[in-house]
Amino acid sequence: MRTPVLGGACLLFLLAGCGGGVDSDAAARAAYLGLDDMVEEAMNLGFDGFNAATSANIPEQSAMGDESGTLVVTGQVDQGSSPNKEMRLRAALTDYQDVVLVEDELVIVYDSVDAPLELDLSLRGVPDGTLQGTLTGALEMTGDITGSVVLDLTIEGDIEPDPMDEARVRRVPGTTSIRGTATSPYGVFEVDVVR
């Protein structure tokens, strides 16, 4: 679900003022928002891997970004028929870009740095339940926001079957809270987003 979060012209002005890096809470927020849909896609790739796995280790799963690049997910998902699942996923991004809406679209392209992002999720009551987890790791960005950033985020919200594909799970719009920090060469900035 995409909703306007800041006036695009205002945000682009803030970013341009310091070379386009993550140099403010607004820029940190925008840097996360470019990854927001990736979190849901990675979760569903984890479920796809769970369905294809013969052990806790899931086979590699991949998807394209909305605009460009690839997301590759590996890791472990609890086996068995329980509606509660623990996912320990690694999300590798290569030239990955989704659309970021802030009234205007920002172009932000992401690449994993040295290692994939770590996405650890605890899902309760699948498919109508809750999720809690963390997203951590380093990224290199190009486009309207440039440079390196290290994310350390917590995620909490509700989940439901995707009405477009009941075999998949989605976050209930408006219930997911993402909080934490984005650390760049400019400093440590707060991320506080509800999606």
Contact 55, 86 (CB under 8 A): no
Q: Which DSSP symbol is given to 113?
A: B
How high is the pLDDT of residue 18? 39
The pair phi, psi for residue 46, each rounded to 5°, is -60, -40
pLDDT tens digits along 57-80: 999 999 999 999 999 999 998 877
pLDDT tens digits along 99-130: 876 656 789 999 998 999 999 999 999 999 99
pLDDT tens digits along 163-185: 988 878 889 999 999 999 999 99
pLDDT tens digits along 84-101: 989 999 999 999 999 876
Q: How many CB atoms lie within 10 A of CB 118?
A: 16
At which residue do the structure tokens 């890791």 appear?
75
Measured between alpha carbons, how far is 191 from 28 in angstroms, rounded to an integer? 6
Query: Which amino acid makes up residue 167?
Result: A
Residue 2 reports pLDDT greater than 60: no
How high is the pLDDT of residue 79? 78
> Which runs of E-coded beta strand occur in the chain?
57-64, 68-77, 85-97, 100-102, 104-106, 108-112, 117-124, 129-143, 147-162, 165-171, 177-184, 187-194
How high is the pLDDT of residue 60? 94
How high is the pLDDT of residue 7? 39
